[in-house]
Structure 1
Amino acid sequence: MILNFDFNGASTSSLSSAELEALRSAYLESFPADEQRPWEQILSPMAEEFRFVPICDQDEALGFVTLWVLGKVVYVEHLLTLQQSRGRGLGTRVIESILEYCGERTLVLEVEHEGASDMASRRIGFYRRLGLSIQPIDYLQPPYTSEGAAVPLHLMCSKDLPLSDLEQIKADLYRYVYRAEID
């Protein structure tokens, strides 16, 4: 498998309409409604800090990652691999590549609470095996839409950080990613 992705200049231009539709369908099926950014926003450049990165093996779309580069932090908003691409180490290779891309920056992502479901527990275990850890901060993901609900989640990071840094990361996520006021 030869993975192709570019965290700096990624775009949807290399994807066919059928591939985009397959990614959209998988996204809508894979993430709870309150954890979904509207698809139209994902495909349109929202901000200079935002990246939609298709994950491809040569010319075949296998998934995507959306991330935000926010100063000393790289925040992974969504990571999706298509069903037929799972179980082949793809997620591990993508996270390892993102960690390499981060350099000295901290990788941050949100996860459901460990007891929320078997999948949530497996996901947390996956990220732990890659060196991330749950951070000791209360975190509530703001809703993406006016109809959506806030979701209690954990922040996981590639480095253990002091509470003051975690509070700043939380404020930056609320401001840039969710366009929300911090509680």
Structure 2
Amino acid sequence: MKYLPIKNDADPLISFVKELYEGAFPQKERRKWELLARMIGTVPEMRLQVIMEDEKPIGFMTIWKLKDWCFLEHFAISPAERGKKHGEQVMLDFIKDSRVLLEVEPPVSEDASRRINFYKRAGLVCLSFPYLQPSYKKTGKPYEMVLMSNVPDAGESACAEIVNLIFEKVYGSSRRV
């Protein structure tokens, strides 16, 4: 598996990313495509990578390098490639050398529970403190999510700095924990 960085919105793989991004995430869990496209290559902390298998794009990741953490904002495998263990391999590659934090929906639906179990199999744990994800829209309200990490003892006070950086850099929110 290869991870190709997308440096700007003129990359030939950008249409693959856009289609998967808009198909894999509900509107409330993503920013407008035009804004994301403008951020590629211009926001130093953000990395957009296409996941390649046998020279074919099969997924993408949006990663934020914030201090000594990696915040995984978006991760999706193409529907045609799901169930082939690609996602598990990507997560194992991703977490082996990084302190990782990501958001998932609370386990109130079968899909949300399945997603949490996927990340648990990769070695992440649900953090035990409440978390409200800021809205991508200035007028939107925050909504409940669960933070997961490969740092099992990451408590609320230990995560306050990284969560504040996520609010500021990823969501453009001045809200603090």
TM-score (norm 1): 0.85
Alignment of structure 1 residues 29-68 onto 2, 5 Å: 29-43=23-37, 44-68=40-64
**What amino acid does structure 2 have at the position aligned with 1:27?**
Y
Q: Distance in 2 between matches of 1:142 and 1:46?
A: 22
2:119 corresponds to: 127
Q: Distance in 1 between matches of 2:27 and 2:139?
A: 10
CA 1:55–1:15 in structure 2 vs 1: closer, same or farther (change >3 Å)? farther
How many angstroms does 1:4 deviate by? Answer: 1.0
Aligned to 2:148, the other structure's residue is in SS state strand
Task: Judge conservation of contact 1:15–1:61 (CA < 8 Å) in 2.
Answer: no
Alignment of structure 1 residues 13-24 onto 2, 5 Å: 16=12, 19-24=13-18
> Is 1:4 matched with 2:2?
yes
| 2:21 pairs with one of 24, 27, 49 | 27
Q: Distance in 2 between matches of 1:162 and 1:149?
A: 25
Q: Distance in 1 between matches of 2:104 and 2:77?
A: 16
CA 1:50–1:26 in structure 2 vs 1: closer, same or farther (change >3 Å)? same
Aligned to 2:128, the other structure's residue is in SS state coil
| 1:156 pairs with one of 148, 155, 164 | 148
Q: Distance in 1 between matches of 2:97 and 2:34?
A: 26
How many angstroms does 1:126 deviate by? Answer: 0.6
| 1:80 pairs with one of 76, 79, 87 | 76
Aligned to 1:5, the other structure's residue is in SS state strand
Task: Judge conservation of contact 1:34–1:151 (CA < 8 Å) in 2.
Answer: no
For 1:127-146, what per-residue CA distance to the aligned partner results, in whole angstroms no more than 9, with x for missing partners?
Answer: 11111111122211111123
Q: Distance in 2 between matches of 1:46 and 1:122?
A: 34
For 1:77-115, what per-residue CA distance to the aligned partner results, in whole angstroms no more than 9, with x for missing partners?
Answer: 00011111111111111111111241xxx1100000011
CA RMSD of aligned residues (A): 1.9
**What amino acid does structure 2 have at the position aligned with 1:35?**
E
Q: Distance in 2 between matches of 1:167 and 1:153?
A: 16
Task: Judge conservation of contact 1:12–1:54 (CA < 8 Å) in 2.
Answer: no
Q: Distance in 2 between matches of 1:173 and 1:109?
A: 10
2:160 corresponds to: 167
**What amino acid does structure 2 have at the position aligned with 1:135?**
L
Q: Distance in 2 between matches of 1:12 and 1:66?
A: 12
| 2:175 pairs with one of 154, 157, 182 | 182
